[in-house]
Every structure is written in C-alpha cells, then in structure tokens.
Amino acid sequence: MIIESGGHFVLVDPMIGTKGSAAPPFAFIRSRPLRNPIVNLPRGAEKLIKKTSHCLITHQHADHMDKTGIQFLAETKTPVFCSELDAHQLLSKGINVVQTLKYWEELDFLGGTIMGTPCRHGYGYVAKPMGKVMGFLIKLPNEPSVYLSSDTIYTGDVKRVLKEFKPVISVLACGTAQLDVYKPLLMTIDDIVTFIKTAPGKVICNHLEAVNHCHTDRAQLTEVLKNEQLLEKVWIPLDGESKQY
C-alpha cells in the first residue's frame, strides 16, 4: 500500500518481490502450500514504488517486509518510521530509520502527526511467538485521518482507536490468516464485522489473496458484508486499485 499526500508517497510494509520470492508457504495443510507472495505486483506498481518518499513498517514478518523490500529501503536510504522495538534490527540491515514510536505516542509526521497503536497478532497463545506489531494513526494536513490497524485481532486497544480518535478511514487486514496449528493470526469474520460496525468512517479491507495462509478471500468477504448490509461502508480493492479521498 502507498499513501499519497501533498507530494509525499508513503510506502507501507514493502513486500515487493516477485511471485514466490519472499518466503516458503506459511501453511502446508490448511492451505495450498504455495510460496509467497502467491501473486506478482500489479502492473505499474514498480514505477509507483520508485516515487516512495517515506516508509512505515508495522513489523518484520516476511509478508510485510521481504528481501526485496529490505534491499530497496537500504539502497534508496528511504526515511523509515517504525516501532522502537524494531529499530535496532532494521538499522542493522542498513535501513534508514529516522523516527521510532512507542504505543500511544504521537509525533510530528509530514506536517501532521503520527501515533503508534497497539496490536495483538493472533488469538490465544500464538500471539506471543508472532511478536510485537504496531499500527499507526495518521493525521496529515487537509486530509482525512487514517488508521492503519496492521496485523491484529479485535482488542480493547483497537476499539479505543475507533471510538476515541474516530479515524475517517481505517485499513483492516481481513485475510483471517492461520498457520497449520494454533488459532487465527488475524480477525475472524465475526470480528471483522464488529470492527466495521464500530468504525466511524470508511474501512479499506486489505491483506487478501496475496499470501497462502489467508483463508478469507474477496468474494467471501463481500458476501458476508452484503448480508450484514455493510458494503456501502467498505472498499475491498483489487490489486493495483487506488482511490482518492
């Protein structure tokens, strides 16, 4: 995902390698054991990525920052914003970390502000080995506020962001990723519905059909949200689609 505002192009979690180049399958039994990503970047993506002025990194899993993404950031010296918990490892890879954030900390960002938000990457025990993840609440001049919820289940912290800070746009990881063992790593369909109902504004549904362990696809999600009469509140983009707000 790239956020464009005021001449800035903010790349979020650069998984930008070719099909199958980033990682082995994340699941072998629950899903077809395909190497990740399971699709190539859409046409025109490379040209857009080259315009990157800044980068946000929510966490270091291979489906959010692959080898190609690391190389791109290191070679271009792109200014990177990330959690303070990831900074040391990113710096060791030659990445130009210019600002780190703590949870609930609001800092200056491109003439506006950015705040780190807590995430829980999975239900039950699996959240512990998944490690720390950070979402971002972004407020830029003359733009709608944007909440990048990142890889998380529905928690009290997520609800707090939606209720207290009232983002105009929320981006939600909807693939219901799950390994061969343990509970899901991302929100179940029921929690996706709860998130969308709670969100005060529009919801963009992403993290769909690009990695092999995500079981919820666009068609399934569309059908559920249609039945819940929530389709008008969401946008489920195809790969390469963009929208102006």
Question: If you search the block for the tokens 């983009």, which residue do you land on?
Answer: 237
Phi and psi torsions of 104, nearest 5°: 70, 10
Name residue 60's amino acid. Answer: Q
In a structure prediction context, what are the per-residue pLDDT tens digits for the chain, which is 245 residues long? Answer: 999 999 999 999 999 999 999 999 999 999 999 999 999 999 999 999 999 999 999 999 999 999 999 999 999 999 999 999 999 999 999 999 999 999 999 999 999 999 999 999 999 999 999 999 999 999 999 999 999 999 999 999 999 999 999 999 999 999 999 999 999 999 999 999 999 999 999 999 999 999 999 999 999 999 999 999 999 999 999 999 999 99
| 117 touches 154 (CB < 8 A) | no
Can you tell me the distance from the alpha carbon of 37 to that of 31, in angstroms, rounded to the nearest whole number?
A: 14
> What is the C-alpha separation between 37 and 238, in angstroms, rounded?
15
Residue type present at position 26: F
Are 187 and 121 contacting, i.e. CB atoms less than 8 angstroms apart?
no
